[in-house]
Amino acid sequence: MLDALKNTDLDALPADVRAVVLGLDERVLSLTAQVGELEALNARLEHFVKELNQAIYGTRSEKLTEDERQLAFEDIEVAQSEAEEQSDTIEMTTPRKKRKPVQRNLGNLPDHLERIEQIIEPDSIACPCGCGDMVRIGEDRTERLEIVPAQPKVIVTIRPKYACPNKQGGVVQALAPVHLIEGGLPTEGTLAHVSVSKYADHCPLFRQSQIYARSGLNIDRSTLANWMGKVSFHLAPVVDHMLAELKTSNKLFADETRCPVLDPGRGKTKTGYLWAIARDERPFGGTAPPGVVFCYADGRGGKHATKFLTGFGGTLQVDGYAGYNALTKPGRNSGPVKLAYCWAHARRKLKEVHDRDGSPIAKEGLKRIAKFYKIEEAIRGQSAEQRKAARQDQTKPLMDDFEVWLKTVRSRISTKSRLGEKLSYIAKYMDGLKLFLDDGTVEMDSNIVERAIRPIALNRKNALFAGHDEGGRTWARIASLIETCKLNNVEPYAYLKATLEAIAAGHPAARIDELMPWHYPFNPRTERLASNHE
């Protein structure tokens, strides 16, 4: 019909009809443009879906790491939100259904945040009927989040001096406040902030220096590094005590992760290691607080495991690394350690084969291991006695069947094949893998300590390497306190600030246990030894 009207001589039409035709023509052009925009938007959203599927379900060679996936999700969600906003601005002249609100976590505004009320009054409250001012009958309240970027402040300490007017009584003045770095620029809160930014939020010191420069505060990276060295020195006794406390337990976890360190002599990096020693009794309702301590070493040899775990006797949950075998020797002063091995590592071996080859034997092994984990999920949080009873009743028969199955399939498969190697690994560590059946305090895997070292790996990616071995030790000490804070639901900045203030004020070494993260908030008692008089 519109085509027929277009072929008509518009000048020959009555004015009102001609106006309608021209209006229809403009509307068609507008709708055509809107359809084009929506088609482009739809294609864009379909592309987002493909990217998301690839990030989650891509083939092994194309899959992203956990950290890379999080970055991909962030960017996809940002782009999706932009596309939704674009969709809302495309004005359709034809009615359409109202889009359902997207079910998304929009955050929350906790009660402890400062509330700044902004009251917006009408231009006039005079009643139109002339009776006077209107009466307030209620209000609408809305809350929005305002974030003010870090605002450096200068704390000026003024200590007035007072003297006897007769020049007989001398001079009196308040003592100067004590600080961790006497005569230095930073407060303990500043030191805590730099520490948390580097070791918890993975922001290297040179980037922090750049951030401060945007506020007109020029603090060189080397100055920040000097501060961190002093913080590490003063926190060393706290971390040492925490490690000693962990080693009094009968059950610990251990793992190690790379810590690249610059080797000035060669102008290259060498491979140092952070050895993680962790305690977490929450899965069986234990009373000891959770904690993790990182110990830096310039290598991965078993001598380091022996050194760091001196004084510990009990069960150590580890992966299959042979460096821990030295702990099992009878000649140890604190007695031989029993090694409980990790089913997550065993499962990973089979999954590698299944993902690549689709092996039905690997698939069967994964199904059997999944049954163990299902039982563990049901008994998590129960007492050690209850867990042991459930494992003996439910898991042990399944484990016996697993061992028979393992022996059968290994007899049919070459030990030199990829699957044969993985099955041999499981068979080699079978005694340690079964240890959890007879001890309700032992976990099926070492995932607890693996989760604790994950932030170390992320910091390693951002910071690239430590500047030297001492930098590795600093990294280990501060990260130990930050990750232990996380395990105990303690805010790391608040804890470090309070701890550094307590140390600066002379907290007695005999009461160092009070400064453990699991005792925060604490109120350290300190004694001032100086006089108020000059």
Residue type (1 letter), 166: N
- pLDDT tens by residue, 213-230: 888 888 888 888 888 888
Mean pLDDT for all residues in the chain = 81
Contact by Cβ (8 Å): 178, 506: yes
Return the half-sphere exposure (C-beta side, CA atoms, 13 A cut-off) of residue 4: 1
On whether the CB atoms of residues 242 and 480 are closer than 8 A, the answer is yes
Q: What separation in angstroms does the CA of 327 have from each of 220, 332, 448? A: 45, 7, 21
- What DSSP string describes 401-416? HHHHHHHHHHHHS-TT
Half-sphere exposure of 471 (CA within 13 A, CB side): 24
pLDDT at position 219: 87
Residue partners of 41: CB distance under 8 A and separation at least 6: 83, 86, 87, 90
**Cα within 13 Å of Cα(448), Cβ side:** 25
Contact, 252 vs 350, CB < 8 A?
no
Check residue 465 and give its pLDDT.
44
Cis before 237? omega within 30: no
How far lies 11's CA from each of 1, 15, 16, 21, 337, in Å? 18, 8, 11, 11, 101
Under DSSP, the state recorded for 165 is T
Task: State pLDDT tens for residues 173-209.
Answer: 898 888 888 888 889 999 999 999 988 888 888 888 8
**CA–CA distance, 278 with 295 (Å, rounded to integer):** 11
Q: What is the pLDDT of residues 504-526, one digit of tens each?
A: 999 999 999 999 999 999 764 44
Element holding 297 (H helix, E strand):
strand 291-297
Q: Report pLDDT digits (tens) over 1-17.
A: 555 555 556 566 676 76
Mean pLDDT of 239-245: 96
Please, which residues have CB within 8 angstroms of residue 68's CB and are 6 or more apart in sequence? none
Confidence of residue 243 (pLDDT cuts 50, 70, 90): very high
Helices (H), 380-491: 384-390, 396-412, 418-428, 430-433, 447-463, 469-487
Tokens of 7: 């072929």
Q: Given the DSSP bridges, would you call strands 268-279 and 251-263 parallel, antiparallel or unpaired? A: antiparallel
pLDDT at 43: 73
Rounded to whole angstroms, how far apart are CA atoms 338 and 450?
A: 19
Contact in structure between 389 and 439 (CB atoms under 8 Å): no
Mean pLDDT, residues 45-65: 59
